[in-house]
Amino acid sequence: MKITRLFAVLAIGFAGLASEESAMADTYKSSETPKYTVEKVDGAVELRSYAPRIMAEVTVTGSRSSAINTGFRVLAAYIFGANEGGAKVAMTTPVTQVPGATIAMTTPVTQMARDGNWLVQFMMPGEYTLATLPKPKDGHIRFVTVPGNRQVVVRFSGLAGEGVLAAHEGELRSWARGQALKVTAGPFYYFYDPPWTLPWNRRNEVAFVVQ
C-alpha cells in the first residue's frame, strides 16, 4: 500500500472523532485503548493498574522518529487488510514506542531502542485472542500477551522530541523514588493521535512499569 493511500485511509478512519477524550479509561476519541484504572493522581502524573492485553509488534532499525513512522506503516497495513483473508482489524490507540531493551529482530509497534533497534506496538482489540487474530502477511509482525502491570505515567501535549521525552523520564523516575516504587521496565512512549494532529491537541505519555 502506498504511503499516500495509507494516510488517506487513516484520515478517513480518524475523521469525525470527538475532539474530547471519552470519560472512560479504555477509549480515546472513540478508539479502544488498553484498559486501566487510576490508583493515584499527582498533577500530570498518574499511577495506573493495567489489564492484560495482546500487542502486535515489529522491530525497526533507525532513528527514533524514522523508526516509529516505519513501524506504524507496517502495523497499520496489517490492520487495514494485509493479512490472510484481508480482514480489517479496528484501530486502537496509543502507538507505543520503548527504548533501551534488547529484542528479537522479528518484533514490531511499542518502540524500544538499543543500538538503533526499536520496538513498535499496536494493541489488538479486546475481542480477539491469539488464536483468532488474522495471520499477518508480513513475517516480521508477531503477537505477544502483555500481563497486567502497574505503571507510572506522565501525560503532556505538544511535540514529543527527544529532549522532551528525556525530561519526562527524569520526572517520572524521581516521582517513583519519592513514592518508594521500583522501576522494573521502560520507558514506554505512548502516542495517541495521528501525525497530522496539531501539537497542542496531541496526547503523549511517558511511562514506566513499577512495583
pLDDT tens string 125-155: 999 999 999 999 999 999 999 999 999 999 9
Residue 151 sits in the same domain as residue 126: no
Select the more confidently predicted residue: 53 or 102: 53
Element (H, E) at 65: helix 64-79
User: What one-letter code names the amino acid at 91?
Assistant: M
Element (H, E) at 56: strand 53-61
Size (the chain), residues? 211
Number of domain units in the chain: 2
Residue 47 sits in the same domain as residue 151: yes
Residue 46 sits in the same domain as residue 119: no
Report CA dihedral (146, 50, 135, 1) to the nearest 10 degrees.
-120
| pLDDT value for 18 | 36
Which neighbouring-strand residues pair with 119? 59, 98
| pLDDT value for 25 | 53
- Measure the CA–CA gap between 161 and 138, rounded to whole angstroms: 29
116 domain-assigned: yes
Please say whether the beta carbons of 111 and 64 come within 8 A: yes
Domain housing 34: 18-51+147-210
128 domain-assigned: yes
7 domain-assigned: no
Please say whether the beta carbons of 57 and 144 come within 8 A: yes
Question: 116: domain CATH number?
Answer: 3.20.80.10
Q: Which three cell numbers stand for residue 167?
A: 525530561
Residue 60 sits in the same domain as residue 135: yes
Give the domain-ending residue among 146, 171, 195: 146
- Worst-scoring range by mean pLDDT, 11-15, 39-43, 54-58, 152-156? 11-15
